[in-house]
Amino acid sequence: MTRDRLQALKAARSSEDDSADVTVDVDGNKYMEEFFEQVEEIRGSIDLIANNVEEVKKKHSAILSNPVNDPKTKEELEELMASIKKTANKVRSKLKVIEQQLEQDEIAEGSTADIRIRKTQHSTLSRKFVEVMTDYNKTQTDYRERCKGRIQRQLDIGSV
């Protein structure tokens, strides 16, 4: 038969001294704090690219649905694409710097918890960046195909 030992456990726990608590100094590591600021900056840039890609999709639809070419819309599209390219190059170079720093730190320090955290953050950011850029490339390819289809229809109509 089982005995209820809850009272004994509570009594033993209350009689123990709570001075054995462990405190962890999180503020002491400025390097990790700077790293996480850098991660947030990169994440913000990736989000900016994703928002710009959505705007590019809207501009593509506007251009294709409008029978008359609007130079203003095309100019806005070009500006968005230039912004995406510029931001993507910055993100790519920042991710490369983090990767190189990780490799150097791993050689010097081995595999510490900080390095594993930074590796995880780097791989997450890299994966998100690749997803956003893949979506952008798919958007460009779709637009190109839709333009080809539109031109083909115009040629078919013109030759009839």
pLDDT, tens only, 69-121: 888 999 999 999 999 999 999 999 999 999 999 999 888 888 788 999 999 99
Categorize the per-residue pLDDT at 18 as very low, low, confident or very high, splitting at 50, 70 and 90. Answer: low
pLDDT digits 0-9 by tens, 128-143:
999 999 999 999 999 9
- 107 vs 103: CA distance, rounded Å: 6
Q: Report, in this order, helix, strand and coil percent for the chain, each rounded to 5.
A: 85, 0, 15
**Which of 4-8, 55-59, 103-107 has the lowest average pLDDT?**
4-8
**Which segments within the chain are labelled E, that is strand?**
none
Contact 80, 54 (CB under 8 A): no
What is the model's pLDDT at position 24? Answer: 46
Q: What is the pLDDT of residue 92?
A: 98
| H helices present in 66-112, as ranges | 71-109
**Tokens representing 70?**
């609007």
| Two tokens, residue 59 | 């501009």
Report yes or no: 97 and 118 within 8 Å, Cβ to Cβ.
no
Decide: pTM greater than 0.85. Answer: no
82 φψ region: left (φ > 0), alpha (ψ -120 to 50), beta (else) = alpha
Closest CA to 151 of 59, 63, 55: 63
Q: How far apart are CA 144 and CA 160, in angstroms?
A: 25
Q: For the chain, list the domains and their CATH numbers.
A: 28-159 (1.20.58.70)
